[in-house]
Amino acid sequence: MKGVALYFFVTAVLAVTGGMIWGIQMSATGNHMLAGAHAHLNLVGWATMALFGIYYHLTPAASEAALAKIHYGVALAGLVIMVPGIVQAIRQTGETMAKIGSVLTLLSMVIFLVTVLIHARRTT
Ligand code: HEM
């Protein structure tokens, strides 16, 4: 694994490592208030990023395209803005970061949709 595929995969593993530590902390303290943010770190950070990484590993032509690096940048920005944004939203201290992060996360999936369609057409 190399390039964008590796970037996505390393990001995913970092996210789930942090997400698991966060889960243990919630269990140990008995305070599950931030469970929604923990869930998004794991599902958007680990599951989604890992799937992106596997796709780019299996589709080298897609990983070499300039759009792949844009995809990684938008997805990473979405994750690091959205998760603290959900924490803020749960604590009722603001919703701006959650809104910006969620739109970036959606945009990253739209970029991925475009990538999948472009490369599906090229290989059929
Ligand atoms: C060491 C590993 C983990 C620990 C100790 C842990 C712990 C927790 C705890 C204590 C809760 C709150 C449960 C509740 O309030 O009912 C929770 C919720 C949740 N966790 Fe984890 N978790 C871990 C890993 C993961 C992973 C890897 C994922 C997903 C890939 C995940 C997804 C979720 C989801 C979807 C929820 C529900 C959130 C909600 O109800 O708002 N967790 N976890």
- The proportion of the chain whose per-residue pLDDT surpasses 70, expressed as a percent, equals 98
Pocket test of ligand 1: the residue of 29, 32, 33, 38 to mutate, having most ligand atoms within 8 Å of its CB, is 38
43 lines ligand 1 (CB under 6 A): yes
* 109-120 mean pLDDT: 97
The answer, yes or no, to whether residue 90 has pLDDT greater than 70, is yes
Q: Whose CA is closest to atom 41 on ligand 1?
A: 36
Give the pLDDT confidence score for residue 32 in this predicted structure: 98
Give the pLDDT confidence score for residue 95 in this predicted structure: 98
Q: For the chain, give every domain's residue range.
A: 3-123
Give the pLDDT confidence score for residue 124 in this predicted structure: 53
The answer, yes or no, to whether residue 82 has pLDDT greater than 80, is yes
Transcribe 23-89 into DSSP letters. HHHHHHHT--TTHHHHHHIIIIIIIIHHHHHHHHHH-HHHHHSHHHHHHHHHHHHHHHHHHHHHHHH
